[in-house]
Amino acid sequence: MPRCIDCARFPWAKGTDLSMLPAVKCHPDIPARRFTEDGARQEWECRYFAPNDGVIVEKSEAEVQASEAVIQTPTAELSDAQSARPRRGRRA
């Protein structure tokens, strides 16, 4: 699972003492927050996570199951839905 300290958007350099730094935004859609040593290393889900070079993040069990469910979508359902849709720009 991702950790803030492994993210390319993490605003501080690794090894910095985070206890005296101000609250900052790591992404425009996320409210400003103060990072603590423990908080920066805590594993949590973040849709804005972008791994630093050389960082490998393992997927959680829920993410693995979700990706497998998408892969196992029956193709017959897809072809039926596509054939029921009218085609644009062609006349019979």
Helix (DSSP H) and strand (DSSP E) numbers for the chain: 3, 0
**Is 91 contained in some domain?**
no
If one compares 75 and 25, the residue with the highest pLDDT of the two is 25
Nearest CA among 11, 13, 6, 10 for reference residue 58: 6
- Per-residue confidence (pLDDT) for residue 69, from 0 to 100: 54
Q: Is residue 89 part of a domain?
A: no
The answer to whether position 62 is within a domain reads yes
| Domain span holding position 35 | 4-84
24-69, pLDDT tens digit by residue?
Answer: 998 999 899 898 888 888 888 888 888 887 666 665 555 545 555 5
Q: What is the pLDDT of residue 56?
A: 65
User: Is the model's pLDDT at 16 over the cut of 70?
Assistant: yes
**Count of domains in the chain?**
1
